Amino acid sequence: MKFQAAITLSIITVIISGCRKPTPPPVEKTWLTMGTFASVTLRSDDAEKIERYHTEAARCFDEINQTLSVYRPDSEITQLNNATGMISVSEQTFQMLEKTIHYSKISGGAFDPTLFPLIRLWGFSGGTTPTNLPEVEAISKLRSNTGYQHMKLNPVSHTAGFDQPGMSIDLGGIAKGFAVDLAYDHLTSSLPANTLINLGGNIRCHGMATPDRPWRIGVRHPFDTSKTLGALSIASGMSLATSGNYERFVYIKEKSYAHIIDPRTGYPVKGMAGVTVLSTTAIEADAMSTALFVAGVENAPALLAECPNTQALLVPDKNPIEIWVSEGFQTVFTPHPEYADSVHLLDPYIEL
Ligand code: AMP
Ligand code: MG
């Protein structure tokens, strides 16, 4: 594995149960892509259809990886990062960048792809794991090359760039969600089926798990990933994403540092263990899970108020466990009996 890190198979466990004949049982096909595991689950006994689902989903994910990956020297994002001025980008990448700026803005910069130099400094996204804690001066120097406000898009010339030299972006916090939406739109329109698409814990489902049961997803326990905190039922078309400090991390001087950077400090976020977001699109769930991981329990209600289609569950990194849920999340979430007393409702946000 490239990082000194653990990438869990999937952050979320798909719970499939209660299938009665003649309904075919759900079949799952799993493969490796974009540095993580992907799967399609289909309730179908048509082997050819399952194979086509896999092929088409894999094609969509490869397409996004080729254009948006910072690991590929030929991707549009690498070209953008290496350019000195505005450069032409494809329609798809332009849309992706528009959405990225949107989530950066509504999160007040908690989500910020321009943190790339700091992400690499801490040993992620192709950076080398530091043996010592990065120097304060190095962090503050790199921080001056960040800020999503410096990302510029020109819708007339279809170009993208930065208004300050030394800037670069990493779409690792949002690209998988974008890829899942692409696969979802393509597959559900061309090959209708009851299906669940999963790319490294970025999930979108269509239809039902069985004729009388919606898809049910288990939320992984961030302190013991062999357990679940509970499960939620997700309606057709909905998406789920999780950001966790156990997904990807580095060890420096025997202390673990998570892969999500706090733009206010330039250090990996402390104090959060896991965030699971339910939303109407996978891109929103992906961006918001990363943003809420930075925002934390205290700032979550204000951030959720910016995104009415989004519901969330947050677990701070503290013992005993606390599970904070928004009202809409609570209605679809069934906690494991062991954690029922640990569930708290996030206060609704009231603007003063
Ligand atoms: P996720 O697992 O979806 O929360 O995304 C985490 C990934 O997003 C990291 O591995 C980085 O590539 C990138 N990232 C880290 N911190 C941030 C941040 N504050 N805003 C946006 N992207 C980030
Ligand atoms: Mg994300």
3-state secondary structure at position 197: strand
Residues 226-251, mean pLDDT to the nearest whole number: 93
pLDDT band at 145 (very low <50, low <70, confident <90, very high): very high
Which pLDDT band, with edges at 50, 70 and 90, does 171 fall under?
A: very high
For the chain, give percent helix, strand, coil, nearest 5. Answer: 35, 25, 40
pLDDT digits (tens, 9 = 90+) for 255-310: 888 999 999 999 999 999 999 999 999 999 999 999 999 999 999 999 999 999 99
246 lines ligand 1 (CB under 6 A): no
Would you say the CB of residue 103 lies under 6 angstroms from ligand 1?
A: no
DSSP string, 115-128: GHHHHHHTT-TTPP
Residues in contact with 113: Cβ distance below 8 Å, sequence separation at least 6, in sequence order? 100, 104, 148, 151, 169, 170, 171, 173, 174
pLDDT band at 245 (very low <50, low <70, confident <90, very high): confident
| Rounded average pLDDT over 187-196 | 90
Q: Ligand 1 pocket: which of 12, 290, 293 to mutate (most atoms <8 Å of CB)? A: 290
3-class DSSP state of 299: helix
Cα(23) to centroid(ligand 2), Å: 34
Least confident of 16-20, 138-142, 206-210, 211-215: 16-20
Q: What percent of the chain has pLDDT above 90? A: 81
Is residue 35 very low, low, confident or very high in pLDDT (cuts 50, 70, 90)?
Answer: confident
Ligand nearest to the CA of 111: 1
Tokens of 293: 């991981």
The structure's pTM equals 0.93
Site of tokens 């205290």: 298
Q: Exposed e or buried b for every residue in 235-253, given b needs 16+ CB within 10 A?
A: eeebbbbbbbbbbbbbebe
What's the token pair of residue 271? 């104090």
Task: Summarize the confidence of residues 82-90 as an average pLDDT.
Answer: 96
For 160, how many CA atoms within 13 A lie in the half-sphere containing its CB? 25
Q: Is the CB of 275 under 6 A from ligand 1?
A: no
Superfamily covering domain 2-61+174-345: ApbE-like domains (3.10.520.10)
Q: What is the pLDDT of residue 126?
A: 87
Residue 1 burial (C-beta neighbours within 10 Å; 0-12, 13-18, 19+): exposed
| 226-230 contacts, C-beta under 8 A, 24 or more apart | 227/336, 228/13, 228/336, 229/313, 229/315, 229/321, 229/323, 229/335, 229/336, 229/339, 230/323, 230/333, 230/334, 230/335, 230/336, 230/339
Of all ligands present, the nearest one to the C-alpha of 265 is 1
Q: Which atom of ligand 1 is nearest to the CA of 241?
A: 3
* 214-223 residue pLDDT tens: 999 999 999 9
Q: In 11-156, where do the E strands start and end? A: 12-15, 26-33, 36-43, 87-88, 151-154
Backbone angles phi, psi at 87, to 5 degrees: -125, 155
Angle at the Cα of 264 from the Cα atoms of 304 and 268, rounded to 5 degrees: 90
- Ligand 2: distance of its center to the CA of 276 in Å? 10
From residue 105, give the alpha-carbon distance in Å to each of 38, 112, 283, 304: 29, 9, 15, 13
